[in-house]
Structure 1
């Protein structure tokens, strides 16, 4: 999923900060009015959902939550979790898209001395950053940070700005520019990656190839061929693999029952989940948990 910002005006910074959650802490339920929330996780796993989409954010994963949409934690943190966040706004138009589309700038001519065409910025609403890019953005947010929330120490601290408003805005726009460039380098016109992200975001819902075909406006057989070529899996197999990998994470980092893990990962029926897990790993979930916790 991409967020398309129509500019001008460009998005602008509201406030930045960082938060530390303890095991058992869960993100609050809220609806942000006119404010986007960019989250970058540096430690642990943050479980958060927006409407019907659930995200398990691990180190160097980022997510942009939209204004006027309910977001909340859908599962408590299983370990200490740290993340940076940036609240920002735009008074311009924005919309969600499942793909990017290029917009060519018109060549300057005499009639255009005094006007400027609108342009679009496309930013994926979620993704994974390489270590160096993540480190740069973390440092940028630290310099912008005016709030520090640490649940370990039960404190919420506020600081004076480290930058003048114009400098802060320039630093914030550099963050958006990096995320936009990442999209262009890795995801622009990359249909397999876009479909992968869609399946990942819907991993807890029943699989529907028809919904994917309608969303991306391609024939079902072409989507199957494309995913098979790029991931050596059919879309259905990819959907199941994503759920089973998430179940491994829960088996290791929680004391949830097998039934609850089946429910948390979208299988619901524990017998069916155990059968699929054994097909995937060769052993049952309970045996897999015991072997990996004792190793």
Structure 2
């Protein structure tokens, strides 16, 4: 299944929503390079639509995300009454089409919190009833103005994206690998100050150490111990800026038992010593 991957930040930005009803014989207008994303949710009938070389028959309980830089066209008129919601939104970041085999996650650190949002381009969400209720609420907000309505619209749009992303996590091998990698990351971030190894991780997560390592490498492109090292050093950066602790105290706090080794790792990571890094950023 083709999915659309958004590299966050920035976040997608909601513009507006509408609800259209077509009678038999009507069809979706043809458009080229619209400049915005058009997310369609069909509640009744079938929408026959194409995007460049791809064509779909979008039926009740299904959604389709049309991309802003493509040619959209009707492939056939409606053969019965058809009702659908549409959402327009913009996204100023990098996005692409991909399949599960191409999926990987970015590593969070002290100065950035990147995330790869993935949503199916064409799907039949299992939670469509909840999605339809959200769409109804968002449509109601178009009749109101003010800050309260604005923020509720944006929040509901984020809720909608979360529902669709969450709904897409099934029982496939890729999703199982991703879930274990995310559990491993969470465990490392929570326990980074402790003595950790692949074996202790495996014991805590109840998986073979080789499998844990494979999942981390597949999703985060690094081993658990490499991730742990990066996270400890990022925490050390924060402490060097936010406290007046000695380098030895910082090293011990983030999980290093030997200060010269900490300094060596820090310099490889930042190209400067901990003290030099503190002086540079504390001016």
TM range (shorter): 0.5 to 0.7
Residues 158-215 of structure 1: CA deviation (Å, up to 9, x unaligned)? 844595212211110110011111122356727xxxxxxxxxxxxxxxxxxxxxxxxx
How far apart are the structure 2 equivalents of 1:19 and 1:85? 8
Please state whether the residue corresponding to 1:28 is helix, strand or coil: coil
By how many angstroms is 1:134 displaced?
1.1
Q: Aligned ranges for residues 91-110 of structure 1 at < 5 Å?
A: 91-99=92-100, 101-103=103-105, 105-106=107-108
Unaligned runs of 5+ in 1: 148-157, 191-295
8 Å contact from structure 1 (residues 27, 72) kept in 2: yes
Q: Aligned ranges for residues 35-184 of structure 1 at < 5 Å?
A: 35-99=36-100, 101-103=103-105, 105-106=107-108, 112=110, 115-130=111-126, 133-145=127-139, 159-161=143-145, 164-184=149-169
Please state whether the residue corresponding to 1:145 is helix, strand or coil: helix
Distance 1:74 1:186, change over 3 A: farther
Residue correspondences, number: 172
By how many angstroms is 1:105 displaced?
3.6
How far apart are the structure 1 equivalents of 2:171 and 2:164? 11
How far apart are the structure 2 equivalents of 1:179 and 1:90? 17
How far apart are the structure 1 equivalents of 2:172 and 2:65? 16
What is the alpha-carbon root mean square deviation over aligned residues?
2.2
Please state whether the residue corresponding to 2:157 is helix, strand or coil: helix
How far apart are the structure 1 equivalents of 2:53 and 2:153? 34
How far apart are the structure 2 equivalents of 1:9 and 1:80? 38
By how many angstroms is 1:73 displaced?
1.1
Structure 1 segments, 4+ long, off by >4 Å, are none
Please state whether the residue corresponding to 1:67 is helix, strand or coil: coil
How far apart are the structure 2 equivalents of 1:53 and 1:90? 22
